[in-house]
Chains A and B, each alone.
Chain A
Amino acid sequence: MYLSPNEERALAGEYGESMQMAYRVLVALGRLSRAEKLIPIKWAHVSGVSYLTIGDYGLEFLQKVSSSKGTRFKVFTTVNPCGMDIENWDDLKISSDYAEKQLKINACYEKLGIANSFTCVPYQSYKIPSAGSHVAWAESSAAIYANSILGLRTNRESAVSALASALTGKTVFSGLHIDENRRPEKNIRVRLEKREKKFGGSLDYGLLGYFAGTKVEGVIGFQGVRSKLEVDEAKALSASIGTTGSSGMFVLGSREKVETIDFTEKEYEDNFSDLSSSEGGDLIVFGCPQMTIEELYELSRALAGKKFKKKCVVFCSSKVYEIARSRGYSKVIESAGATFVRDACADFTPLISSLGAHSVETDSCKGAHYMRRVHGVDVALKDSRTLVEENIA
């Protein structure tokens, strides 16, 4: 792989240990993918934030990187949700041991220089670079959304590789950064002719993505779907693909002449019954990935003057929460009895376990997949409208 004289110096350690480590990562990954060079990026999105996922070993590594003198992120950097609401963890029954470790992790990232929220939907809160721009995003749901909806170019980065990109402002020129690799490898055709209800909404697109991820490793072409999706549909589709597969991108309305796999009533039902293990639940969870402002608006409209009959938690970033507050959405949702959890991840927070939930109701396929595995709860999958209608008085 070609390195500029400056990159060679960084790799040799002339710009400090952290920078050397970051270049070692990029060079190693460049060699793995036989890339010809590194390229500059406009935005890094780093995963590996919740203490529940990275643990003491990750914390130790971040402390080392962030303590090295003068080490700062070189480009605009956002980070994934953490394991709790930073303002409100005590009320939400998070243990102080956990909170202490989580705050240490957050302090490392803050020292390195991050945007002011912890979010898995970074595209909701910050200005999107022009189409075609190169970025380096970890968090598979965001990376897939970036490639497929925003027209950005990124590979599905790991926690370590995205951190290296944030420190250097560069990524490896390979995979989805290259034009010819952005064409569908296989098509998935939606054929639900027998179904009465029109295909649409976050649950339907979530199930489609959950299926597609298992069938296609490369770019996925979709047929028989609308050419423009609502934000919540595109978010759910991206999140589900990231949950079951390695694909980093989809194309809506593919015309690529490649192998085509049908998504019929059978595939819909099979994937639904794989994910949904219960008829109902004792806790309602909204926001995996975190709620968008559009979703909070819809939720506030559905809840106006109503009350939830059971406990409900709503996950969103602190930045989106502020917008929802200024527009009055959050007040309506809170008045209905729901609790906001800001800057945290529904799947990787101790909260679901500490609230003592045995079963959860959600509209998210990704959430169902991980909450069952991480917290051992049963999950009832329902579309967002049903979730509200069945549970309010």
Chain B
Amino acid sequence: MKQSFRVRCIVEGNARATVLSTTQPIAFLKGVDPEKGTIIDSKHELCGASFAGKILVFPNSVGSSVGAYVIYRLKRSGKAPKAIINQNADIITASGCAIAGIPLYDMTEDSIKEFKSGTRLVIDGLKSEVRVL
């Protein structure tokens, strides 16, 4: 099984944490609770799950561009993910992570399905590489 993956850097940084992974897009405005760091969209497969302090893996975000400010609020309330890995990063997630200072990477070669919830990952920003521990 492949243990290390090349990723594209959007907002740099390192992280070492447990994964919370979904193949469904996330809407930050109204889809997450920025005071608790949880998914609250009742139609989402991760509804109720906490991503605070984890590496949050999802394909891309959807919904209002105010979502960028929700990502910023997550950081201020101490409930932000340690880092985010997208399949294809989009403007909302990218600008939100940039203002909040949350490392963001996306996958141009492999599928985010390689990263299952519960596994531990290291993001090496300098090498743009993700390793499974």
Contact = CB atoms under 8 A, between A and B. Distances in A.
Interface of A: 21, 24-25, 27-29, 31-32, 48, 53-55, 57-58, 60-61, 158-161, 164
B49 interface: no
A28 B94 contact: yes
27 contacts: A24-B11, A24-B99, A28-B10, A28-B11, A28-B94, A28-B98, A29-B94, A29-B95, A29-B98, A31-B10, A31-B94, A32-B90, A53-B66, A54-B66, A54-B69, A57-B72, A60-B72, A61-B73, A61-B99, A158-B91, A158-B92, A159-B66, A159-B68, A160-B65, A160-B69, A160-B95, A160-B99
By secondary structure, the B interface counts as helix
A60 to B, nearest CB: 7
Given A28-B11, A31-B9, A32-B94, 13 more contacts: A24-B98, A24-B101, A25-B99, A28-B95, A28-B97, A28-B104, A54-B69, A57-B73, A58-B66, A58-B69, A60-B73, A61-B72, A160-B65
Contacts, number: 72
Contacts of B11: 24, 28
Nearest to A158: B65
A297 to B, nearest CB: 35
Q: Which of B34, B72, B92 has the most CB of A within 10 A?
A: B72
Interface of B: 8-11, 34, 65-66, 68-70, 72-73, 76, 89-92, 94-99, 101, 104
Contact of B65 (A31, A159, A164): A159
A57 B89 CA distance: 22
Given A29-B94, A57-B34, A21 B73 contact: no
A21 B99 contact: yes
B70 A57 contact: yes
B69 A25 contact: no
Contacts of A57: 34, 66, 69-70, 72-73
A5 to B, nearest CB: 18
A27 B8 CA distance: 13
Contacts of B101: 21, 24
Closest 5 CB pairs of A and B: A57-B69, A160-B95, A24-B98, A28-B98, A25-B98
B70 A158 contact: no
Nearest to B72: A61
A32 B89 contact: yes
A167 B55 CA distance: 31
B80 to A, nearest CB: 13
Q: Which of B9, B34, B99 has the most CB of A within 10 A?
A: B99
Contacts of A55: 66, 69
A29 B28 CA distance: 18
A103 to B, nearest CB: 19
Contacts of A29: 91, 94-95, 98
A131 to B, nearest CB: 27
Nearest to A25: B98
Nearest to B94: A28
A57 B65 CA distance: 12
